[in-house]
Structure 1
């Protein structure tokens, strides 16, 4: 199938068959704190410790993330409102509390310094070097087929 005949909507639906966790990537800059919801997050390397977040070139958060420290907040299943808030559906009052640039109550925090950025077509692949992390037990918020889901043990 050539690129010109590929149905992008259907490709997105196909990609959506891969279940993911949900994160909010946060950072601090001159205008304050900023965050964006991302499910395109992955670990890259343990030595050195690297993670990758794929960021849409059109997102307002991209200029704030460029060459900046950032934190990946892995959300728990009770934080769906937080995910929606940072996905552009801001809620008042905000359904979360800040703890520095962390989202309080998240399942895990991965603090990163900038490592590299790569062209990813309509996205930028932002790679960070992990400088600090914390995690706890709990149930993650999942995303599958365009919907939030719960992860259930087999």
Structure 2
């Protein structure tokens, strides 16, 4: 059975993700970036993350050998996501470069600055592992992407918190709120 790429993309789009902008320096030293939702944590020791970049993108050619930053967008940054998705629409505010020399966007929910670790063939994409050199977290709510549209958590969002202190399989617990957690 042949897989229709458009139908597969629609199916995969049902997995809700956060929205990131991956940034690095170009050949001329100027910052460059692209909106990416294919980002995940890989390892805590060593600290590694993975981004999947379209092989045809300019950023793909740059990220192979340059430090890069994963900028996690805040719910109000839809226009910034569109800007780096090829629809320039605003003046970009940059923060000071990370310690490893990767450019960072100002005002994001979080940023994770990395040095290249490995890259792997991913078909029409290249999978880049980055070793985390520096990270910062800021308060706010994430910009989300689902079924080809941007979303945000509603005001009535009541998160369940993960208790990772349990030992072994089956020992994980969920709590309805931080106030419900017990020691």
TM-score (norm 2): 0.79
- Bigger relative contact order, structure 1 or 2, given CA contacts below 8 A and separation 6+? 1
**C-alpha distance in structure 1 between counterparts of 2:75 and 2:145, whole Å:** 10
Larger % of strand: which? 1
Gaps in structure 2 of 5+ consecutive residues = 97-102, 159-183
Following TM superposition, the consecutive aligned residue runs of length 4 or more in structure 1 with deviations greater than 3 angstroms are none
Q: Does structure 1 residue 90 correspond to structure 2 residue 88? A: yes
1:17 matches 2:23:
no
1:58 aligns to 2:60 (yes or no): no
In structure 1, the partner of 2:180 is: none
Give 1:30's aligned residue. 27
Q: Which has the larger radius of gyration?
A: 2
Residue 81 of structure 2 is aligned to residue 99 of structure 1: no
Question: Cα deviations across residues 111-154 of structure 1 (Å, max 9, x unaligned)?
Answer: 00000000000000010000000002211000000000012324
User: How many residues are paired up?
Assistant: 149
Deviation at 1:60, TM superposition (A): 1.7
Query: How far did residue 62 of structure 1 move?
Result: 1.2
Aligned-pair Cα RMSD in Å? 1.0
Output the TM-score relative to the length of structure 1: 0.93
